[in-house]
Amino acid sequence: MVNHLIVGRRSSPFSSSSTMVDWSKLPYDLVVSIANQLFEVEDFLSFSTVCRCWRLVYLKKHWIPNHHIPWLMLGEYTEGDVSIRQFLSLTRFKIYKFPLPEANGCRCWGTSHGWIVTLSQSFAIRLVNPLTRACLDLPHHSMLRSQGDIEVDWFAAIQKAVVLKVRDDFVTMVIYRYNRCLSFAKYGDGAWTVVPFSNLVYLVNIVCFKDRVLVLTMVGTLILIEMEGPDGPRARCIASPPGDERGWENMYLVESSESLLLVLHYNHRSTHRFKVYKFDIFKRKWMAAVDLGNNVLLIDNYGCTSVSACGSIKPNCIYFAQDNLGSSVVPQQELKMIVFNIKDNRTDVQRLNASSFYDCPVWTTPALR
């Protein structure tokens, strides 16, 4: 009966009709059990405000959700003098607004670990949790400021930033200098570590697969980054690009159900389509894939995330959040999602019945850490 009262009412789990119940008297193990039946992070936020006893579940981080569905971070605007960031929950088709002055005026990249990576106009790089507003300062990246004798526009200083979990350590990696350089830092490092390459490469994507860091070049070559060793980090090519593929607009690496996938994004006259390849570890070759099972790929301009389908999110599909940079400066637009069915090779446009300011939307997984 308790589970029904709390979990069954998704829009408002704790209504005024429950005020006569002394929820703080429930055994702690039962409270944890109730918390772990909540599906969305916003439900758990409401749950944690019921009473001090229930908030302990949050403080002790005993909430283990069954699904981690990323939110789509949209644009920035101000209410009065407060900087607001907007986040779209795809499972609820609802936009949440959070004050986030810590990311005011910054360029942002989403991650799968609760953080967003921010780059400010002073070239400061930080990890920011949009829910808790916790911040972790990373080393200043002095190498970002110039390309030889040419000063670099701060907005274009980093092409891509990711946070990877490598053997229980969180590592931030950045691709910079127009896709030609790669460096990484752990929290607490005093400087960034540069990864040397023997040949000139143009990097487009980074992923951690089975505790190995892999990067993808613009021509589709797969490179293993060995981060530790007596001679420091080094890069080693392990696979060639798939087949005779040409003409893609973007390429992504992603781990999905313990498989490494390569996703090619094609855009011809605003018609979007995708091809997916699975990496054969033993043959070191890419094999065409048409079935992701119950998985879904969420893609933005910078990265790709794999999650399990749930609710209205369809399995074996790609959800692509297109940028809005072709319009005037951060206009208010109707939000649209490109939905590509991998098996049927069919593209649909899903209108989200909401308008918001956005420019480069990024997927990020909310976490209360």
Instruction: Name the pLDDT band for 5 (thresholds 50, 70, 90).
Output: very low
* The pLDDT value given to residue 11: 39
Bridge partner residues of 328 (DSSP): none
CA–CA separation, 199 vs 109, rounded Å? 27
Of 47, 97, 58, whose CA–CA distance to 75 is shortest?
97
Q: Identify which has the larger pLDDT, 215 or 20.
A: 215
Which range scores top for mean pLDDT: 41-55, 62-76, 87-101? 87-101
Tens of pLDDT, residue by residue over 48-64, are 777 777 777 766 666 66
* The pLDDT value given to residue 203: 96
Which range scores top for mean pLDDT: 85-99, 112-126, 320-334? 112-126
Tens of pLDDT, residue by residue over 276-287, are 999 999 999 999
- Per the structure block, which two tokens stand in for 10? 């998704």
Q: Which of 26-30, 122-126, 168-172, 357-361 has the lowest mean pLDDT?
A: 357-361
| Per-residue pLDDT at 327 exceeds 70 | no
- Cβ-contact 295, 309 below 8 angstroms: yes
* The pLDDT value given to residue 13: 40
Could you tell me which residues come within 8 angstroms of residue 281 by beta carbon, excluding any fewer than 6 positions away?
260
How far is the CA of 322 from the CAs of 117, 276, 307, in angstroms? 19, 18, 19
| Mean pLDDT on 258-269 | 92
* The pLDDT value given to residue 275: 94
CA–CA separation, 118 vs 124, rounded Å? 8
Mean pLDDT of all residues in the chain? 82
Q: Which CATH class is domain 71-364?
A: mainly beta
| Per-residue pLDDT at 316 exceeds 90 | yes
Bridge partner residues of 274 (DSSP): 265
| Mean pLDDT on 157-178 | 92
- Cβ-contact 263, 275 below 8 angstroms: yes
List the domain boundaries for the chain.
Answer: 2-59, 71-364
* The pLDDT value given to residue 231: 81
How far is the CA of 112 from the CAs of 80, 91, 104, in angstroms? 31, 17, 21
Residue with the two structure tokens 């599906």: 39
Work out whether strand 295-299 and strand 317-320 pair parallel, antiparallel, or are unpaired. parallel
How far is the CA of 50 from the CAs of 24, 137, 335, in angstroms? 8, 33, 34
Instruction: Name the pLDDT band for 8 (thresholds 50, 70, 90).
Output: very low
Instruction: Name the pLDDT band for 96 (thresholds 50, 70, 90).
Output: confident
Backbone angles phi, psi at 16, to 5 degrees: -65, -20
| Per-residue pLDDT at 209 exceeds 60 | yes
How would you label 104-139 residue by residue, b for 16+ Cβ within 10 Å and e otherwise? eebbbbbbbbbbbbbbeeebebbbbbbbeeeeeebb
DSSP 3-state percent helix, strand, coil across the chain (nearest 5): 10, 45, 45
Residue with the two structure tokens 């992701």: 292
pTM, two decimals, is 0.83
Instruction: Name the pLDDT band for 4 (thresholds 50, 70, 90).
Output: very low
Q: Identify which has the larger pLDDT, 251 or 27.
A: 251
Instruction: Name the pLDDT band for 103 (thresholds 50, 70, 90).
Output: very high
